[in-house]
Structure formats: C-alpha cells, structure tokens
Amino acid sequence: MTTDGDSDLVLSGRLGLARLAERVIARTDGVTGTSGPAGRWQTVGAQQAIRGVLAVEDAQGRVDLELHLVVRWPPRMPLEQLGGRIREDLRRSAGTVGLRARLGAVSVAFDDVLSEIESV
C-alpha cells in the first residue's frame, strides 16, 4: 500500500494508467489537465472522462500516454524540468502499483498558461 492514494485504484491497462496519470497531475502543484478543443484530449471509460490524459494501448498491451496540461504562470520551475518531474512521478507510481511494464511512452504538453490579472 502506498501513502499517496494510488493503491486504491482499480488498475487494468489503459484506464488504470489514465487514472494514475490523473492522480499524478492532481498532486502536482500549479498544473491541471485540459481536454482541449472539442474534448479531444481525454480518455473515456466506464462512466468517466479523464481530462488531459490521452491513453492509447498498442497490440502488445503497452499504453502510451499524452498529458495535456495548463500551467499556472509563472511556473515554479522551467517547463522542461516540470514535465520531466511529472514523467518521473508517473513512472514511479506505475511501478509502485505493478503497472510499470505496461507503461509506454509518456509525453507532456503544456497547452496553455493561467496568469493572475492584477487589479488596479
């Protein structure tokens, strides 16, 4: 059992890794998932859409993930470093719950930024 709540996921293939990615995004300060134009960047499963995570399973059972994110500006670190940390956290979490062998490529795209507008 892990302390970050990943152990309560019902994990199997594409949807399990998409849910795991959703958890990693949720616990990363300053980022959130976005479904993008017309809801293209989401994984749809039984009664649930996981926004910001596009999960595609290949014929060998490996699951590639595209993470589409909005970041709060200014970010707390360079975007390349933030994307790397998210990938590392996802791979570590997948290993913890026994899905590391199923995880394929992970790409992280920062599709938009949110900035606070100062009131005058």
Which residues span the domain enclosing 14?
A: 6-115
State the pairing for strand pair 63-73/31-33: antiparallel
Total domains in the chain come to: 1
Max Cα distance, the chain (Å) = 57
The answer to whether residue 14 sits within a structural domain is: yes
Distances (CA, A) of 7 to 40, 93, 105: 28, 9, 22
The mean pLDDT value for 95-100 works out to 94
Query: Is 31 exposed, middle or buried, given 0-12, 13-18 or 19+ CB atoms closer than 10 A?
Result: buried
For residue 3, the model assigns a pLDDT of: 42
Q: Is the peptide bond before 74 cis (omega within 30 degrees of 0)?
A: yes
The answer to whether residue 33 sits within a structural domain is: yes
Per-residue model confidence as pLDDT tens digits over 75-90: 999 999 999 999 999 9
The answer to whether residue 93 sits within a structural domain is: yes
Per-residue model confidence as pLDDT tens digits over 6-59: 444 544 689 999 999 999 999 999 999 999 989 999 999 878 899 999 999 999
Residue 48: CATH number of its domain: 3.30.70.1350
pLDDT band at 62 (very low <50, low <70, confident <90, very high): very high
The answer to whether residue 30 sits within a structural domain is: yes
The answer to whether residue 57 sits within a structural domain is: yes
The span from the first CA to the last CA of the chain, in angstroms, equals 50
pTM: 0.86
The answer to whether residue 1 sits within a structural domain is: no
Between CA 22 and CA 113 the distance in angstroms is: 19
The answer to whether residue 120 sits within a structural domain is: no
